[in-house]
Chains A and B, each alone.
Chain A
Amino acid sequence: DQQVKQNSPSLSVQEGRISILNCDYTNSMFDYFLWYKKYPAEGPTFLISISSIKDKNEDGRFTVFLNKSAKHLSLHIVPSQPGDSAVYFCAARHLGKSTFGDGTTLTVKP
């Protein structure tokens, strides 16, 4: 049973437009949700997180939205830049351990 799912394996957007990456989860015990970015040959890098008691968290160009009733979160990147091209993982945390989705490869075209 995969507790964290990213149903879109890839996403392509034009530079300057909005990128929206989606993630669904099944375990209502998760207390934090996090997004990571990963470049080839590097470890994942933390981007932004949101507590389960909030519905929005913003940090610069990155905003994460949480819909607890739908068990859904999304990451918005505005405006998208070519340097944002990477694999994005969502993760959900419970008791200090994180469960990761399969990742979405974002390509931002100049």
Chain B
Amino acid sequence: SAVISQKPSRDICQRGTSLTIQCQVDSQVTMMFWYRQQPGQSLTLIATANQGSEATYESGFVIDKFPISRPNLTFSTLTVSNMSPEDSSIYLCSVEDLRDWGPYGYTFGSGTRLTVV
């Protein structure tokens, strides 16, 4: 399965600033997924990043707040813009591991723990 390097692993940011999270995959993948896990809650899909096209955002998430780049098939960034304390979460990127017989689950990065003060 793919190996994902995600950074930074954690950050403490001031309200109103922006943070860009990077994910590097060791193989080429068509889709990369960005998730958020708020304290005590499940993983919520933010958007799907496809190389060469605009990211597809889920309900409740917008490009102005969470701009995504996907310059090639092994790399993606997620920016959390104009941050507020409500953005304090763990942010994870992931790729799907597909086998001949079907999906073998997602491989996740180790996550970015963001605290906004």
A32 touches B108 (CB 8 A): no
Q: Is A85's CB within 8 Å of the partner chain B?
A: no
The main secondary structure of chain B at its interface with chain A is strand
B12 at the binding interface (Cβ < 8 Å)? no
Residues of A within 8 A of B92 (CB): 43-44
Task: Judge whether A44 and B106 touch: CB under 8 Å.
Answer: yes
The tally of residues in B whose CB lies under 8 Å from a CB in A reads: 26
Please state if B110 and A93 are interface contacts (CB–CB under 8 Å).
no
Which of B94-117 touch A at CB < 8 Å? 94, 96-97, 102-111, 113
Q: Report B88 CB to chain A, min CB distance, Å.
A: 16
> Which of B14-22, B41-49, B63-71, B75-83 is the contact stretch?
B41-49
Spell out B's residues near A (CB within 8 Å): 1, 4, 6, 31, 33, 41-45, 48, 92, 94, 96-97, 102-111, 113
